[in-house]
Amino acid sequence: MYKNNIVQSDMKNIFKQDINFEKLYNKSILITGASGMIAAYYMYLLMFLNDNKNANIKIYALVRDIERLEFLTNFSNRNDIFPIVQDVCDYINFSDKLDYIIHMASSANPKTIVSDPVGIIKANVIGTFNVLELSKKTGAEVLFTSTREVYGKMEDNIKKITETDVGILDFTELRACYPESKKIAENLIISYAYQYGIKYKIVRIAHSYGPGMIINNDGRIMSDLISNAVNNEDIILKSKGEALRSFCYVSDTISALLRVIIDENQNEIYNISNETEEISIKDLAFLIKEMYSLNVRFDIQENKNQYVKFVRVPLDTSKLETLGWKPLVKLETGIRNTVEYFKMSRN
């Protein structure tokens, strides 16, 4: 869906920002999990640079579903996208020149956490091991997309979470398969840097959303609400909706990733989160209700193992902001873009 009007508008808005895109020109970049929302948007930006600036970027897209990659990029009609069709948990047989590996192959789907927690752990741990082995062989810098969930439950005196803060995770809970395996992946990366000298950046992302997100039976609140809006369905809240969230539109996430990867500093960790419009789940539901003339109903259920139980603490993004980043897309605008994208995709 690279040619989608919403996507193209997002690419133009990213390109208007004060980012030294030329540092990516003539580079070879491998993206794992390339059919995911953030990964696809990253590919779109690289494609946009090739199409509009003759950037000569080689894009290697590691995916399991070649048909979805074709749907997203129409790669068979392009000469800058090279599919690698495999599971990231398998050895990555790659011998070409490589400058960057953007490692995004993972799943945070609450339903997958219940149905395949072992698969989540394998992708985050074994997949990261394979990526690091490839980095060791090629000298490529690794950018790893981690999660805010690695922080776990914070002490009451912590009002904003910095990259050096450490919380508590109950590893006996089923939900822990996701953040605990992300923590192991981070430590693997740091260990490879210490032992083998690889270069890395780690970003801990909070609640990114936008065109290309999974909205069919996903289980995450923004996905479910966007699905309701796209399908003109009643919104059914399964809790009182008191939990707070803060959502970052995907183009803002991409601009953060770009600033991080081209920055000269190595072996750094950054928080990525839009903390400007914190909102409760209930208020988010009623916002979308008003935007799309929907009904809201409550069907309160017990909190299941796939959902985070502790109270959200905002992320401190000041370190990222020193690179010139700030979120630009307002929540209502991002929601409208996302819903419009899916409606256009049906036509």
In a domain, 341, yes or no: no
Q: Which residue, among 201, 177, 336, has the nearest Cα to 264 in the 3D structure?
A: 201
pLDDT in tens, the chain (347 residues): 899 999 999 999 999 999 999 999 999 999 999 999 999 999 999 999 999 999 999 999 999 999 999 999 999 999 999 999 999 999 999 989 999 999 999 988 888 888 999 999 999 999 999 999 999 999 999 999 999 999 999 998 999 999 999 999 999 998 899 999 999 999 999 999 999 999 999 999 999 999 999 998 888 899 999 999 999 999 999 888 889 999 999 999 999 999 999 999 999 999 999 999 999 999 999 999 999 999 999 988 765 555 566 678 999 999 999 999 999 999 999 999 999 999 998 76
Find all residues with CB under 8 Å of 198, minimum gap 6, and list them: 132, 135, 136, 141, 142, 189, 192
pLDDT of 217: 81
Q: Which residue has the tokens 């490839």?
A: 134
pLDDT of 305: 52
pLDDT tens figures, 30-54: 999 999 999 999 999 999 999 999 9
In a domain, 82, yes or no: yes
In a domain, 299, yes or no: no
In a domain, 89, yes or no: yes
Q: Identify whether the C-beta of residue 4 lies closer than 8 Å to the C-beta of residue 331.
A: no
In a domain, 220, yes or no: no
pLDDT of 307: 58
CA–CA dist 1, 263 (Å, integer): 29
Q: Which residue, among 240, 223, 214, has the nearest Cα to 296 in the 3D structure?
A: 240
In a domain, 95, yes or no: yes
State which residues form the domain around 168. 5-211+246-275+311-329
In a domain, 288, yes or no: no
What CATH number is associated with residue 260?
Answer: 3.40.50.720
The number of domains in the chain is 1
In a domain, 290, yes or no: no
CA–CA dist 45, 53 (Å, integer): 11
Please state the pTM of the whole predicted model.
0.95
Q: Which residue, among 62, 106, 102, 41, has the nearest Cα to 254 in the 3D structure?
A: 41
Q: Which residues of 49-81 are buried (b: 16+ CB within 10 A; e: fewer)?
A: bbeeeebebbbbbbbeeeeebbebbebeeeebb
pLDDT of 317: 98
Q: Identify whether the C-beta of residue 210 lies closer than 8 Å to the C-beta of residue 249.
A: yes
pLDDT of 300: 82
